[in-house]
Amino acid sequence: MTAPEQLLQLVLAGLTQGAIYALIALGFVTIYNVTGIINFAQGEFAMLGAMFIVSLVPLGLPLPVAFLLAVAAVVLVGGAIERLAIHPARHASVVTLIIITIGVDIVLRGLALLVWGTDPFPLAPFSTGAPFSVRGAVISRQALWILGTTAAILALLYVFFEFTYLGKAVRACAINRLSARLSGIRPDRMSLLAFCLSAGLGAVGGIVMAPLTLVSYDMGLYLGLRGFVAAIMGGLVSAPGAVTGALLLGILESLSAGIFRAAYKEAIAFLALFLILLVRPQGLFTRAVGTRAGL
């Protein structure tokens, strides 16, 4: 494989990883826009989605059915978290609510440890066959599933936020909660919807990446950190910015692992977070500091 082909291979691997980060980052952005909370349990939604599907597939369920059931289960978990942990403390400070999400993160990981143990679980690829060749580089069929699923989710989110009443109500709360309330929109219900939607996004991300790695109870921390950094790169308020940041982060990690050493990959997210907060705390794609761009 020539140097350009190796470079293309690393970029394709980075885009695949970045597509997963994008789904998790969108969850961060959705909840932050609607509630002002940074949900540090977002990565655990991905872990739960992966854990549920590796538990459902051995029961003999068709993969699409197991996929939908796993996503639905995580959506219910997200809704339960909002109703049981966030809603009762809705009048508390934002810092308190963020601390609550950290506690939820720890609880979810602990419960997963009790239920599934410490052993990692494999999941077969969604489709079998040889990988495809792209100008000397190769891309696996599961990577295409990841990229295609992320593209489909982004298209569905665009339709939801632009052309549906619920989507516009969520956007109204993201722009101005008081005006939305005066217009008859209930921000508490939009908060519930935001948590359910974010849980579903995280679950899809965890499920599609499961065949590429072993699924374990502690994978949510890794994914949550990457999704958080990608959301920060987008200013925490911009969905397109978060997606772009996620793809950029994935490519940076892949290039650093391929050109330098694999160990450097683990430091890239922390380095990117540090530099962005130091140089452009409003995000790479947001112009005004403190301005909510909405969804």
Q: Give the pLDDT confidence of 51-62 residue by residue, as tens digits.
A: 999 999 999 899
Task: State yes or no: pLDDT of 281 exceeds 80.
Answer: no
How far is CA 205 from each of CA 20, 99, 188, 272, rounded to the nearest angstrom? 5, 24, 26, 22
* Band of pLDDT at residue 207, cut at 50, 70 and 90: very high
Total Cβ atoms within 10 A of residue 254: 22
Whole-number pLDDT of residue 289: 47
Q: What is the mean pLDDT of residues 153-163?
A: 91
Whole-number pLDDT of residue 288: 52
Lowest mean pLDDT among 63-67, 176-180, 229-233: 176-180
Whole-number pLDDT of residue 271: 79
Whole-number pLDDT of residue 293: 52
Task: Please give the sequence-ordered ranges of beta strands (E in DSSP) within the chain, or none if there are none.
Answer: 132-134, 137-139
Q: What is the mean pLDDT of residues 175-196?
A: 88
Whole-number pLDDT of residue 295: 63
Total Cβ atoms within 10 A of residue 34: 27
Query: pLDDT tens for residues 253-280?
Result: 888 888 777 667 777 777 777 787 777 7
Alpha carbon distance, N-terminus to C-terminus of the chain? 42
- How far is the C-alpha of 188 from the C-alpha of 90, rounded, in Å? 9
Task: Tell me the percentage of the chain whose pLDDT exceeds 70.
Answer: 96
Task: State yes or no: pLDDT of 208 exceeds 70.
Answer: yes
Task: State yes or no: pLDDT of 188 exceeds 80.
Answer: yes
Task: State yes or no: pLDDT of 147 exceeds 80.
Answer: yes
Q: Which among 34, 289, 285 has a CA at the least distance from the CA of 176?
A: 34
Taking all residues of the chain, what is their mean pLDDT, rounded to a whole number?
Answer: 88
Provide the β-strand partners of residue 139: 132
Whole-number pLDDT of residue 73: 96
Q: What is the mean pLDDT of residues 31-38?
A: 88
Contacts of 15 by beta carbon, 8 Å cutoff, 6+ apart = 147, 247, 250, 251
Whole-model pTM: value is 0.89
Q: Which among 75, 42, 34 has a CA at the least distance from the CA of 168?
A: 34
Query: pLDDT tens for residues 211-241?
Result: 988 899 999 988 998 899 889 888 888 888 8
Task: Tell me the percentage of the chain whose pLDDT exceeds 90.
Answer: 48
Contacts of 143 by beta carbon, 8 Å cutoff, 6+ apart = 12, 13, 16, 212
